[in-house]
Amino acid sequence: SAWSSLNMKAETGTTSRRNFGAAIAAGAAALVGAPDNAKAYDLPDLPYAFEALEPYIDTPTMKIHHDKHHATYVANINKATEGKDEVPILALQADAIEAGKPVRNNAGGHYNHAFFWQEMAPADEAAKMKPSAQLAELIDKSFGSMDEMKSQFEAAAAPGAVFGSGWVWVCVNQAGDELKIVGTPNQDNPLMKGVADEIMFPILGLDVWEHAYYLKYQNRRPEYVSNWWNVVNWDKISENCAYVVENHAGVSV
């Protein structure tokens, strides 16, 4: 519907987005009949068409990944938080493990995927982007070079490193002065207490669950990972970096 595309374009710092959406929904209800019960969390639209990341991520994968997998996490976190005070999905991350599996798996799943879509862009746009001066400096300081960072990231994303389902992240550390690469299992992420050595703030992350790549790449996860750099939105990654360094907090989605 028209108002959901307005919803989707909102900036970071989106605590207000839900209220905006709810207000519009209430207005729209007068026109289109009763909406669904207002849920705490919405499935955000992709910032691009399903085919936009071809040939590096195929259209059917984007469609199923977003419309089925991510949608299921949203439905499940809504169910798991029914009757509770509504908070942004970011706020559920820190204590997600303590909150138990339904929250851990689905708050993690919703946040991770919402974060993921925003980090990517069509390859021709991505090709024109590069890290900001701040991000480039952090990369060089932490890894030596961008190439070295990519190499370490790809090693951390290998099937032997993240065995089974999980994600690989580049994060700003607690001190805010270095980037770290960390792999996490299932839908965990470094914002969750107890997952990494310390809570860290992702600026870039890659889904290596098989559903993220199997239709096109099958067992060839390394090829998926090395191709993925072609669609990384370095403008957004740079924004993420500036935000987490300044605010000592995770990126909102």
Partner 1 sequence: MTSSSSRFLVTILLSMTTLRGDAKQFELPPLPYGYDALEPMISANTLTYHHDKHHAKYVNTMNSMIKGQSELESMETIEEILVHAHEQGNTGLFNNAAQSWNHEFYWNCMTPPSKSSSISEPPKNSQLSKMIQQSFGSYEEFVTQFTTAGNTAFGSGWAWLCYSIPQQKLIVTKTIGAGTPLTENSSSKAKVVIPILTMDVWEHAYYLDYQNARPTYTQTFLTKLVNWDFVGRNLKEAIEVGKDEL
| Residue 79 within binding range of partner 1, rule CB under 8 A | no
CB of 93 to partner 1, least distance (A): 17
CB of 211 to partner 1, least distance (A): 5
| Residue 58 within binding range of partner 1, rule CB under 8 A | no
* All residues at 6 or more sequence positions from 248 whose CB lies less than 8 Å from its CB, including other chains: 174, 176, 201
Measured distance CA(165)–CA(240) in Å, rounded: 25
177-196 residues near partner 1, rule: CB under 8 A: 185-187
CB of 72 to partner 1, least distance (A): 7
* All residues at 6 or more sequence positions from 218 whose CB lies less than 8 Å from its CB, including other chains: none
**For residues 233 and 129, is the Cβ–Cβ distance under 8 A?**
yes
221's tokens: 């996860």
Residues touching partner 1, count (CB under 8 A): 21
Q: Which run of H or E residues covers position 202?
A: strand 201-207
| Residue 73 within binding range of partner 1, rule CB under 8 A | no
Among 15, 134, 219, 247, binds partner 1 (CB under 8 A): 219
The nearer residue to partner 1, 96 or 139, going by C-beta atoms, is: 96
Per-residue x/- track, 10-49, partner 1 (CB under 8 A): ----------------------------------------
Rounded-to-10 torsion of CA 192, 194, 199, 204: -60
Half-sphere exposure of 124 (CA within 13 A, CB side): 3
* All residues at 6 or more sequence positions from 64 whose CB lies less than 8 Å from its CB, including other chains: 211, 215
**For residues 43 and 70, is the Cβ–Cβ distance under 8 A?**
yes
CB of 193 to partner 1, least distance (A): 19
| Residue 152 within binding range of partner 1, rule CB under 8 A | no
Stretch that binds partner 1, among 7-15, 82-90, 114-122, 213-221 (CB under 8 A): 213-221
* Residues near partner 1 (CB under 8 A): 64, 68-69, 72, 101, 105, 160, 163-166, 185-187, 209-211, 214-215, 218-219
